[in-house]
Structure 1
Amino acid sequence: MISNLLYKEIRLAAHPNLFIFTLMGPLILIPGYPYTMIFLFSLIGNFVNLMYTRENNDIYYSTLLPLKRAEVVLGKWLVLLVSQLLTIVISLPFAFLRLQLLSQPNPVGLEANTAFYGFGLMIFACFNFIFLTSYFQTVYKVGASFLKGLVPATLVAIIVEVLVHFPKLAWLDAVTFDGQIKQLPILAAGILIYSVAMWATYKLSVRRFSQVNL
């Protein structure tokens, strides 16, 4: 069922911009760039995708299929999950390549290191919970839902980029092996927060969508 839902979403309902914004990993190779923008671009891609869903009336179409409302929510939830995990996976080779090509530290903010991915998962978690649960209250107010989720997610990204400029938190910017081992608790926290947030996002979205009169 999950594979069929994902197949339907990608082949019939996905907007091309979703794929474009998922492929922003190479931005890690740009010197002096705020790398958390890679995560924010992924948020924009998912917003455009759900806006496309609204314009094509895909939610209504999906409810006409032999699907439960929970499965309709699951399809959109899966697209969000898969696109964000792909954003991370695609960026990883470029993060390793950056270490080989660029010896200078990033003057703007956080390096593409272990802490970077932990914070990235936190940015995703913050956005997903607010955006998707707000969207499934009406399945029409995509723009308002996006802004509700984007503002706190952007604030988290700004805070993360600023933190590494404090001397006592400089270890967050480390790219050495020992330095990144020290950052593992942040990655673990990011994975935990993301997992819990995605579970809560799905459950609350299903509850809210069950009350929507299409």
Structure 2
Amino acid sequence: MKQRHSLIDWKKRLFVALYSSFIVTVFLLSWEAHFFYPQYETTASANVISSSGVQIEIPEEAIRLRIKSNSQSPEDQQLKLTIRNEVNRYIRSWTEESSDVDEAREIIKAKLPEIEEVIKKAMTKANVFSPFTVDLKEVDFPTKQYGDRIYPAGDYEAVYIEIGEGLGDNWWCVLFPPLCFIDSGGEEANGEAEEEETDEDVEISFFLVEVIQSLWTKLTT
């Protein structure tokens, strides 16, 4: 009997040690991700904060940039981001000194052939020769969330670029006033996505509880 009690005590001490190690490991992994990989943390608040720390809102009169990739393939998605960077940089260099949206609109209209050349160069560099279109027009936008603000779906003026068949994910930001530099793509407001994330968190929590309970049962029997 005494030997059995000693065995149970030993199992309990082992369980406590393993459980403590588990907690410490989770904490360290969380700390490591926060310290070494802050870019993977939520960026919702950063999307509406400028480099000077001033919160910025999208004005009613703004010109957006929307790009639709050819497909969901990693290559097409990467090309979309490359074109985004090049087009955004060129247009910003033209519109940064614009005093109002009308002036920015006229500049962009006049520069559309140059924007086409920017896209061609980016595609040639990537060894991609898909057809594409670029235009300044009213474009249908989905609902989008910037931080705690939700911008409703609707038709907004935008430089619209469609690559190939345009079947991949789209990316958009605000060209004028130049807010693209604070945007990481943002996120479409989607209740389903939020619900799925919550369900996943619950499943992980239950999984951890089951692991601990199973370990305790094995150690005490």
Structure 1 length-normalised TM: 0.26
Q: Is the helix fraction higher in 1 or 2?
A: 1
Larger of the two Rg values belongs to structure: 2
